[in-house]
Structure 1
Amino acid sequence: MSLAPDPSDANATAAGSDLHASGPTLPAPLSTPDDASEASLAPPDQLESLELLERFKPLVVLLYALLVTAAIVGNVLLVGAIARVKRMRTVTNFLIGNLAASDALMCALCVPTSLAYVYDPRGWVLGRGACLASLYLQPVTVHVSSFTLVAIALDRYSALVHPLRPRMSPRRCGLLAAALWLLGAALAAPALANTRYVRLPADGGEAEVALCEELWGARRERERVAHAAALVLLAYALPLAVAVAAYARLGVKLRARVVPGSVTRAQAERDRRRRRKTQGLLVAVVAAFALCWLPLHAFNLARDVDLSLVAPRYFGAVQLACHWVAMSSACANPLIYAWLHGAFRAELRRLFCCCRRGAAKAKAQSSTASLAL
């Protein structure tokens, strides 16, 4: 994944390298197959692909910097609003907070290191421990986000179908969140087991290159493809299918249901509108996740089926673009909440007003001190 000298030299091949990752990490533009039967990019095409990435380096770095900043700030504000505003402390919002925490963690710890790895000619410079942590945390956080969306959908379905049943207690919410993280960690365990940190010795005056990749080896190619397909099914397609089915059924029930405790037709209609608005917000969250991750999953599928489906010259650029779109899902939730959730908008306005008043007060104190001098 580095713009370093081609890592497919004898040392990498002897180590059994196969730079095809099965998870959602940022894959390397270069492929280092173990035998001639495995599809790979020809060296001239590799060079063209790398030159294209290098040409657009300032734009790529800017786009990733904006994405990481927006995702971290937005998700931290969302978690803070849920913690501060009493009427936002619901089961659904607690799970949304768990989703925001996983997105913020991914953008803070995984995305910057992946981008640095792409453009640093020395490859991975952060050492073996950071290599293992980064390539493990990214699939864990993605799986947690996917499973949290399912938990939210099922919770909303239960709340509408069984409105008189007690909601989850804070303790049970915490246990559910912990279970989601454990499930995500377990599903990402094969990626950790196959992550390798390889240092390639200097050759002919070139600097030493360090690789940090998910390496399965050519002899285990079928196993890798099966694992990749299982991940798409278990951590993307199946969770989305469950969430879509739950919200579709909710939509049918919302049109026909009279909310218990609604004593008048007008009150029942207000309750129905409020529930529809909440459902619309959550459906938007699911749709954003599905659309953002679709290009990367489609790219990985095309790569596994036939590497030549993507023009070799644009292989690295398409790879990077799909990864950026997938990572942008981390920015979606704060934007959707700011658009559709009144309490979150009110908390943002309050926060910004406080910041402006604080800045004005500090400026006034500074001016007073200057006059006193």
Structure 2
Amino acid sequence: MAIIYPLQPRLSSTSTKIVIGLIWALAFSLAFPQCYYSVTQHYPPRTICMVNWPDDYGGKHHLTYQIAMIVLIYLLPLLVMLITYSLIGQTLWGSEIPGEASDHYQNQIQAKRKVVKMMIVVVMTFALCWLPYHIYFILGSFNKEIYMQTYIQQVYLAIFWLAMSSTMYNPIIYCCLNQRFRSGFRHAFSWFPFIKVSEEDKMELQHTQTFRMTRSYRTENTKSTVVRHNSTQHDDHTTVKLMKS
């Protein structure tokens, strides 16, 4: 929203809290069936937690639940990211920076295109990390013999850790593909003895702060200009009415 519609108002604090609350409510509702149908069975010397679906032999509930999970937490977020990141990428890649074609201009163009590449890598990372997790449960819905294999526990843990680590790679991607993020990370962790903030990092962060202040000033200036223009029109309209009367 900030990139495509920079001058539109942001969500209010109340609206943001409502959206966050709805997201958490949806997350709890999606996880509730597994909690409701979970049972513990003792296989000496271990106690195992299993999801005992009502139609354990037919597997219809299990398959329906897994398909719903794939659509809601994998395909739908992937589709949303593809659409929104495509719009952002089109805006960044196709937009032009006002001014002459200097070295700074070329650096700005390259930086914008790196942002587009960074978003592509983020989407691909999300898709690759979660794909084995969903394939595992879909295959298990059709063939439960998979769960009885010798090393299936180790395979499941590896797939589960890969899926849960999907968002962990985002800061690494940001740091590798964006100079501003690298400068910000160095500044944030400058209290480590082996991390030093260079002059280039300070200039990068100072440029970011100056850009934000300039954009904020321009936005406020635009709003005040609109208000003055509306006020002038109102005064002119009032004057005309008085002259006619």
Fold conserved between structures, TM > 0.5: yes
Residues 93-117 of structure 1, C-alpha deviations (whole Å, 9 max, x = no match): xxxxxxxxxxxxxxxxxxxxxxxxx
Structure 2 match to 1:257: 95
Residue 28 (structure 2) pairs with residue 180 (structure 1): no
Which aligned pairs between 1:1-373 and structure 2 lie closer than 5 A? 155=1, 159-160=3-4, 162-169=5-12, 172-196=15-39, 198=40, 200=42, 207=45, 209-217=46-54, 218=56, 221-258=59-96, 262-264=97-99, 266=101, 273-307=110-144, 312-356=149-193
Q: Note the residue ranges of structure 2 that are not aligned, 5 or more in a row.
A: 195-245
User: Unaligned 5+ residue runs, structure 1?
Assistant: 1-154, 358-373
Q: Secondary structure of the equivalent of 2:193?
A: helix
Q: Deviations for 1:215-245, whole angstroms, at most 9, x for unmatched residues?
A: 2141562111101111001110122022113
In 1: Cα distance, 2:35 partner to 2:145 partner? 28
TM-score, with structure 2 as normaliser:
0.62
Give the share of equivalent positions with the same residue, in percent.
28
**In the aligned structure 2, how far is the partner of 1:334 from the partner of 1:295?**
22
What is the alpha-carbon distance in structure 2 between the residues aligned to residue 199 and residue 255 of structure 1?
56
Return 279-288 or 303-312, whichever deviates more. Answer: 303-312
The total of aligned residue pairs comes to: 191
2:117, 2:166 → 1: CA distance? 17
- Give the letter aligned to residue 349 of structure 1: R
1:104-134 CA distances to partner (integer Å, 9 max, x unpaired)?
A: xxxxxxxxxxxxxxxxxxxxxxxxxxxxxxx
What letter corresponds to residue 156 of structure 2 in structure 1? Q
Distance of 1:340 and 1:320 partners within structure 2 = 30
* Equivalent-residue separation in structure 2 for 1:325 and 1:163 (angstroms): 36
Asked if 1 retains the 8 angstrom alpha-carbon contact of 2:38 and 2:49, the reply is yes
Distance 2:87 2:171 in 1: 26
Distance 1:181 1:163 in 2: 28
* CA distance in structure 2 between the aligned counterparts of 1:175 and 1:311, rounded to whole angstroms: 44
By relative contact order (CA 8 Å, sep 6+), the higher-ranking structure is 1
Structure with greater Cα Rg: 2
**Per-residue deviation at 1:312?**
3.0
- 1: CA distance, partners of 2:187 / 2:29: 40
**Residue deviations 1:153-200 (CA, integer Å, cap 9, x gap):** xx46xx31x33322334554444333322222222222222223x363
Report the CA distance between 1:352 and its aligned residue.
4.0
The aligned amino acid for 2:50 is: E
Alpha carbons of 1:314 and 1:171: their partners in 2 closer, same or farther (altered >3 Å)? same
Residues 274, 183 of structure 1: alpha-carbon distance in 2 compared, 3 angstrom cutoff? farther
User: How far is 1:326 from its partner?
Assistant: 1.7
What is the root-mean-square deviation in Å for CA atoms of aligned residues? 3.3
Asked if structure 1 preserves the Cα contact closer than 8 Å seen for 2:175 and 2:181, the reply is yes
Name the aligned partner's letter for residue 99 of structure 2: T
Residues 63 and 138 of structure 2 are in contact (CA less than 8 Å); yes or no, is this contact kept in structure 1? no
- Encode CA deviations 1:30-66: one digit per residue, 9 max, x unaligned: xxxxxxxxxxxxxxxxxxxxxxxxxxxxxxxxxxxxx
> Could you say if the C-alpha distance between residues 237 and 354 of structure 1 is closer, same or farther in structure 2, counting changes exceeding 3 Å?
same
